A and B are shown apart, each in its own frame.
Chain A
């Protein structure tokens, strides 16, 4: 059974079906979308169960001739790093569809269709084994994201949507040229074929720049992060969740799949630049987050800071291996990066969705408009506390595992790297807990807060699902680590070779 193709195209077909539902019968559309996502989740079970974690190669491969004249093929396959991200994509979309019952009441069918299309595209990005197919889906995700910010966003949505689109569209332009150049060297568009070609350092650096712009803007890394606060703040709850949980992961995934194994010499050449940018993101953006008065902006900046740990974990291996020749430590850092990606998806995604639940009643994002929410919404406050703790990186939650792995491995790269990386523990706790205190504790601040209703029904289900995943990864991370260990080792091995 072509599981991966089903995961890509089933939601797309579902989207078409949903569009045919009348707006008055929104519940039918929601039910249809939910059904599609439940089938997708069911398909993820054999994906996880039949996955052979001892192999670093692509599994569940599919091959179809697509554009023979350009030698582009429809090649799919997942390895230990892509597979968890595929499941994450389905899981997140499922929760967004569930949340649409209470949080979306305007153009519901179009909303559902947008997110179903996005789900298909995202899975496509993670599964593509052909680099042009990867690019096809990579760019394709822009259309539904652009629409979701622009149509269902808040006041300043047009600006945020256009900024998001142009910024990321610009970033991926040179990626396309780099891929075409690699294809002219390798003779095919298969990503694995790119892993064995020799390229001079000057060309490697140019390719690196092409990759870097695309992936660093998506992650986003420090000087390219300015689109993110706008996009996050203006996007609807579902859009923010997708942005935080999945869209940013595309960048990290790109680094792991393309930059590290294809141009390792350029990575070695620029390793300190990348590490420095990651550390700036962790420290500086962490401080910026503390100063935010807007709750959504605060979570957005915390995303940038957390993604700094991901890029740090991606580029640490080069320094570690050079200094200590210890590849195990390098693999640890890389695994930390992937775990951090998934942990951040749960933590930050849950926060954005939770904020959506309260924004739906309050229609304000400013922290000062809240206060004492715990008095009126005790269940919600409890969930929110767990999500905040996951964001801080409390042991037992998913946030801890990734941070711990990256920071531990950074010791081998040097004391100061660890020192700056570890500031995330301080700043993270500062902005998260301070925000939590101001919003949830204290006296009931105003009449609006007094009239808040606690979450019920479907929302409790959604938040419970989030909470379970956070705790599951936090308590038993091996479920994730076992799957990705061989693949992470393979990537480290590829990136330690010289391609000159």
Chain B
């Protein structure tokens, strides 16, 4: 270990330190002061600065450290910055929610911080072992977070499901990794890629066997069909603040997982994994969109919608071109922003003793708070992929990548399913704008969250009109 090795992990080290600090201060500081909240927000900002600094310190080039098992490149820096941003907003949205429900403030923030460290490490890992370990670091705090309201049966149930299914997925991933190690004799992604090209088709059956297990494990983690069963239950069962945490930033880390293993490690098996990804992606888009139609619970609805969106993201990777990869990164970043807004709005609508879990709870929102309704309108139309919002540009770039590699039929299927999906998004708009409110009480929210949700909506609108900058940022990362 050298000093330059250390520089690459300084932000993660700093956050780990802060996790310990927050844990200790939380024990002694009075609960009313919300010290953990401010500390965690502070550490997010500092970590973001440290990340940029460390990238500059290593000379803005792709730098490997710790025996080629950890990497600091443009891809990881961009993704990490978005993880910081999204986590920051998640804590902002959930502060009031947590306070009103007496959710253990200290534990929530420490666990969420640990999960964030897991995401960051995952994005930077370049070795199957570090990938696996950081994935576990991401998952374990989330299991605990889901069970945070331990007196509620639904939470316990969701946590159990999440834990069992997540453990199973980790097992499958690990099994696939072990086979891959057996064939190639290495855990390093570059090494694996090299030895695959040396093998030239030998051991193909074993490799495909390993590939299937690895992809299954990864599909579990991002919640793609047919490994999606846990998603609606966990999203619905968790407190909304935890759903926020699970639904946004981990998707970015999930993309990184796919990118590292498939693109960096297994480009030699492209034809094989392309087929698997296409099937998984189309099934996700189809099932996610169709099943979401019948949901009356908005958290479940958004859960199914997230399954469909993950399918779209995988389609970008499956196209196998630089454009497709850029489209996938663009898609996952914009989706996280939209998902963040969607669940943030649910958290905002909930008050002490009342969970805005049903679509009906949004009835007549335009009369009760026109501004919030307008922001939700932007989010919903964006999720449905209607211009001039960013969801359209994201879908467009994916479809463009597919058509350019002659996968036009996939593009047609994907777009038809997403048309079906448009129904449930515009139904939310219908409930907010066309229906009469169930209660007349005006909804108010604290100023900081109001600013955040406004920024969230406006960014989605502006990114839809001026997508060029973010898109250029996503290009050439992989």
Contact = CB atoms under 8 A, between A and B. Distances in A.
Interface of A: 65-70, 110, 132, 135-137, 139-140, 142-143, 146-147, 150-151, 157-158, 161-162, 165-166, 169-170, 173-174, 176-177, 180-181, 183-184
Interface in B379-436: 381, 386-388, 392-393, 396-397, 399-400, 403-404, 408, 411-412, 415-416, 418-419, 422-423, 426-427, 429-430, 433-435
Nearest to B475: A69
Contacts of A181: 403, 408
A170 B423 CA distance: 11
Nearest to A124: B388
B434 A151 contact: yes
A68 B419 CA distance: 27
A173 to B, nearest CB: 5
B422 to A, nearest CB: 5
B467 interface: yes
Interface of B: 323, 326, 366, 370, 381, 386-388, 392-393, 396-397, 399-400, 403-404, 408, 411-412, 415-416, 418-419, 422-423, 426-427, 429-430, 433-435, 467-468, 471-472, 475
Contacts of A176: 396, 399, 415
A151 B429 CA distance: 11
5 contacts: A65-B468, A70-B471, A143-B381, A162-B423, A173-B416
B434 A161 contact: yes
Given A180-B403, A184-B404, 20 more contacts: A68-B472, A69-B468, A69-B471, A69-B475, A110-B370, A140-B386, A140-B388, A146-B426, A146-B429, A150-B434, A161-B430, A161-B434, A162-B426, A162-B430, A166-B423, A169-B422, A173-B419, A174-B412, A177-B412, A177-B415
Contacts of B467: 67
Contact of B430 (A68, A158, A170, A174): A158
A143 B386 contact: yes
Nearest to A68: B468
A180 B399 contact: yes
A147 B381 CA distance: 12
Nearest to A135: B387
B393 A67 contact: yes
Given A136-B387, A173-B416, A70 B426 contact: no
Nearest to A171: B419
A174 B392 contact: no
Nearest to B422: A169
A70 B381 contact: no
Given A162-B423, A177-B411, A139 B386 contact: yes
B428 to A, nearest CB: 12
A181 B475 CA distance: 22
Contacts of A162: 423, 426-427, 430
B408 A165 contact: no
Given A136-B392, A147-B433, A151-B434, A166 B422 contact: yes
Contacts of B408: 177, 181
Most B Cβ at <10 Å: residue of A132, A143, A157, A181: A143
Nearest to B415: A173
A98 B109 CA distance: 55
A165 B426 contact: yes
A177 B422 contact: no
A180 B400 CA distance: 6
B343 to A, nearest CB: 22
Nearest to B412: A177
A177 B433 CA distance: 31
A281 to B, nearest CB: 25
A301 B408 CA distance: 37
Contacts of B416: 173
A135 to B, nearest CB: 7
A174 B468 CA distance: 24
A162 B426 CA distance: 7
A150 B433 CA distance: 7
Contacts of B403: 177, 180-181, 183-184
A303 to B, nearest CB: 24
Nearest to B371: A19
B471 A67 contact: yes
B468 A150 contact: no
Contacts of A184: 403-404
B434 A70 contact: no
A243 B388 CA distance: 20
Contacts of A165: 422, 426
A24 to B, nearest CB: 14
Contacts of B433: 147, 150-151
A417 to B, nearest CB: 35
Given A162-B427, A181-B408, A174 B386 contact: no
Contacts of B419: 166, 169-170, 173
Most A Cβ at <10 Å: residue of B387, B408, B467: B387
A239 to B, nearest CB: 13
A70 B400 contact: yes
Contacts of B388: 136, 140
Contacts of B412: 174, 177
A44 B387 CA distance: 26
A181 B435 CA distance: 41
Contacts of B435: 158
A143 B415 CA distance: 18
A135 B435 CA distance: 30
Contacts of A173: 415-416, 418-419
B430 A70 contact: no
Contacts of B429: 146-147, 150
Contacts of A157: 434
Nearest to B472: A69
A66 B471 CA distance: 11
Nearest to A139: B387
Contacts of A166: 419, 422-423, 426
A389 B228 CA distance: 61
Nearest to B434: A150
Given A135-B387, A146-B426, A173-B415, A69 B326 contact: yes
Contact of A150 (B392, B430, B471): B430
Contacts of A67: 393, 467-468, 471
A139 B392 contact: yes
A168 to B, nearest CB: 10
A136 B388 CA distance: 6
B6 to A, nearest CB: 36
Given A140-B386, A150-B433, A158-B430, A70 B415 contact: no
B136 to A, nearest CB: 36
A110 B393 CA distance: 26
Contacts of A65: 468
A1 B414 CA distance: 42
A70 B397 CA distance: 7
A5 B447 CA distance: 36
B391 to A, nearest CB: 11
A420 to B, nearest CB: 34
